[in-house]
Amino acid sequence: MHRQILSLSMLLVLLVGMAAWAQDSNQTIPITQPPTRRIEPPPADASPQDLEDRGDQLRGEKAYLDSIDYYQAAMKRLPKGKESSVVCNKLGMAQVQMGHFDDAKRTFEKAVKLDHDNANALNNLGSMHYHSKKYGRSIKYYKRAISLQPDTASFHANLGSAYLGHKDLDKADAEYLQALQLDPNIFETRSNVGVTALMSPEDRAKYSYLLAKMYAKNGQLDRSLLYLRRAMEEGYKEISNVYQDEEFARLRKDERFAELMKQPPVAIP
């Protein structure tokens, strides 16, 4: 009952969005900062489950400060263990959505300490290190999350982004492909928010080119063309590789590819 699919990643995805975040989740998270609390403090006689459920509802309504209060109250009434780790992870997600990244990092660390097998908390802690551009550490946590839930597409997508930040394009390529095989739509939820928001323009262009390559290899030519155009708009400097990379062999036979290369879009600063 504690699991739910949310929309950072990949997250953050994070601020900015992280790489697909997981609340318990596979998608990115928009961040806003409501200025004040909206409701009364958590009632003293509420059960931990009621507090958690109310926290979930408030976070869904973007009342993040209030949801933090309810998650913290639930934590105080739960014994230490897996249940409190789940709530702790949700608390960290609410802190991320408020932009309180230092607090969120500490909270995710606590969630992992409470339950070493909480894959979502491990993924989110990896995303915090990604946010700080500590790619080696983020890779470590993403790998641990994947070892526990190998079929979670967002974890592989996040790991691919960490490898990309680490300048290890071959491993990034492999992880993106794995993510795509697990969920053909994974990058559609991450393209304009999530990890790309944290990248330099050069890395963002590489990211788009890699996605174009992945979609081409997977036979999804429409999406491949979309990301190839995006890479060009983002100023990818090695676009001529599209004529050599074997993944694009089928796409090169498509008339739309010829038209795109004949009239390439102008790079957008």
165-187 tens-digit pLDDT? 898 988 998 998 898 889 888 87
Tokens standing for residue 131: 């946010």
Looking at per-residue pLDDT, the higher value among 200 and 82 belongs to 82
**Segment 44-61, tens digit of pLDDT:** 889 999 999 999 999 999
pLDDT at 11 over 80: no
- Output the pLDDT for position 136: 96
**Segment 151-165, tens digit of pLDDT:** 999 999 999 989 988
pLDDT (mean) for 78-103: 92
- Output the pLDDT for position 144: 97
Ordered alpha helix ranges (H), the chain: 9-12, 48-60, 64-77, 82-97, 101-114, 119-131, 135-148, 153-165, 169-182, 201-217, 221-233, 255-262
Name the CATH code of domain 9-168 (choices 1.25.40.10, 1.10.3720.10, 1.10.490.10, 1.10.1740.10): 1.25.40.10
pLDDT at 17 over 80: no
- Output the pLDDT for position 9: 40
Q: What is the mean pLDDT of the chain?
A: 84
- Output the pLDDT for position 49: 95
3-state secondary structure of 191: coil
- Output the pLDDT for position 189: 64
Length of the chain: 269
